[in-house]
Amino acid sequence: MISVHKALSVFALFTSCCYAQTDGKLLSTAGLTQIEGSGGGGLVPWATLAGYDSRDEISASVFSTHVSVDDYRLNAWGAAVGLYDRVELSVAKHYFDLTSLGAEISQNIVGAKVRLYGDVIYSDWPQIAVGLQHKTLSDGSIAAAVGAADSDQGTDFYLSATKVHLGAAAGYNLVWAVTARATKANQLGLLGYGSAQQDDYQLMMEASLGVLLSREWAVGIEYRKKPDNLGLGEDDWYDAFVSYIPNKNFNLTAAWANLGTIAGSQQQRGLYLSVTGYL
Amino acid sequence: MITRITFAAMWLVLASCSNPTPKSTLYTQIGGQQTVDLIVENFIREIEYDPVIIEYFIESDIGRFREKLSEHLCFHTGGPCQYTGDTMKQVHQGMQISETDFNRTVDLLINAMTKAGVNHRHQNKILAIFAPMRSDMIYQ
């Protein structure tokens, strides 16, 4: 968390000295940054774009996420650029620490998302976007050892619908996202892609549901379905989150995440912490 | 006579079913005309102090804006008013309001409502009423 604080204060200094704040969207409509660096919830990419750019603006954001479950740690950080509330380009880095084995797996992710239709608040129908996340493992030896068909790189494709309903939950604003992801990834790609038995793209449904308790506080739950290509009992993921969105400069999220069985270690549960800062 | 009373009673029952008078409108929940006027007054002040949005109002008749916005807010929250102003499309014609400035103005309206003591949930319901009008307001 110290490094996160340091990064944040450097970022704040950077923004206050040199750049005009991009604030063309309403507070919290930029959402958060999901684990692979795309604008979203925590685990699920949403149709909203990371950043507060309106159709006349460009935005930039940086994020850092730390997930700590029983036998593993995942550190993720990255940056995204929003172009005219139409296109989002993102980069992210994952460091996955196998605490018990003393090993580490890292990967790079580049992402792109295009908003196809709508505005998350104002349009009659949900905002719709398509995106991809291309991931490259730094060292595929562990992926190869557990039986991945491809231990080098892979690409996920997704289609997402997201909507805010003003005042819909007894006067509170409701937000939901449903995302369909075509993927071959084993555990986010950290364990490679596919296996000898199962090497086809499969469609996985993901969803988030949240309530904004005030302009600054939101709570919600998420679900992410995952394939089990390796036959290691890879489980679907769940989380319950609390987000603090005090302004358009940054937001903080804490979540309780249930990541199930990861590479043979069962019931991997723990804390998810994330911060995103915006230009 | 009995038939007549029965008929009248039936009519009353039917009338109350098919056309129920709402117990409380959003208008009464937020505190009626007093709150509506306070929101409008606060909103005008917020606009006055905003260097960007004030530009859109340089040539506006603030007296008329105050009166029509008050009617508009009253009418759309279910209050006992008629809106006598122009349509949203007519009002914003030629103003070329950008998406950014529109959202900035929504933030000013939220400030105005907060300062008028309107609670978060009522604010959301008011915003929900006006959100669909955005397409008639921006880039006109």
Predicted complex ipTM: 0.86
Judged by CB atoms closer than 8 Å, whether chains meet at B128 and A124 is answered as no
Cα distance from A117 to chain B (closest Cα, Å)?
14
- pLDDT, tens digit, 9 for 90 and up, residues B76-88: 999 999 999 999 9
Which of A117, A127, A173, A217 to mutate to test binding with chain B, by most B CBs within 10 Å of its CB? A173
pLDDT tens for each residue of A221-259:
999 999 999 999 999 999 999 999 999 999 999 999 999
What residue ranges in chain A does DSSP mark as E strands? 32-33, 39-40, 58-69, 72-83, 87-98, 103-117, 127-137, 148-150, 153-169, 172-183, 193-195, 202-212, 217-224, 237-244, 250-258, 269-278
How far apart CA A168 and CA B129 sit, in angstroms, is 12
**pTM recorded for the entire structure:** 0.88
User: What is the pLDDT averaged over residues A129-151?
Assistant: 96
3-state secondary structure of A139: coil
- Residue A257: exposed, middle, or buried by beta-carbon count in 10 A (0-12, 13-18, 19+)? buried
In chain B, what residues touch A27 (CB-CB under 8 Å)?
107
Contacts of B135 in chain A (CB under 8 A): 122
User: Which residues of chain A have a Cβ shorter than 8 Å from any chain B Cβ?
Assistant: 23-27, 54-57, 85, 121-122, 124, 165-168, 170-173, 214-215
**Nearest-neighbour CA in chain A from B60: distance (Å):** 24
Given a contact cutoff of 8 angstroms between Cβ atoms, the answer to whether A157 and A131 are in contact is yes
Q: Find the mean pLDDT for residues A46-69.
A: 96
- Among A7, A84, A74, A6, smallest CA distance to A34 is for A74
Write out the two tokens for A206. Answer: 């993901």
Measure the CA–CA gap between A75 and A66, rounded to whole angstroms.
Answer: 5
Arithmetic mean of pLDDT, A70-96: 97
Instruction: Tally Cβ neighbours within 10 Å of residue A98.
Output: 17
CB B60 within 8 Å of CB B92: no
Query: What does pLDDT average to over chain A?
Result: 92
Rounded Cα gap, residues A212 and A163, in angstroms: 13
Q: Which residues pair with B64 in a beta bridge?
A: none
pLDDT at A6: 54
pLDDT at B22 over 70: no
Q: Which of A238, A256, A244, A187 is nearest to A215 (CA)?
A: A244
Q: Do A121 and B131 touch (CB under 8 A)?
A: yes
Give pLDDT, residue B9.
Answer: 53
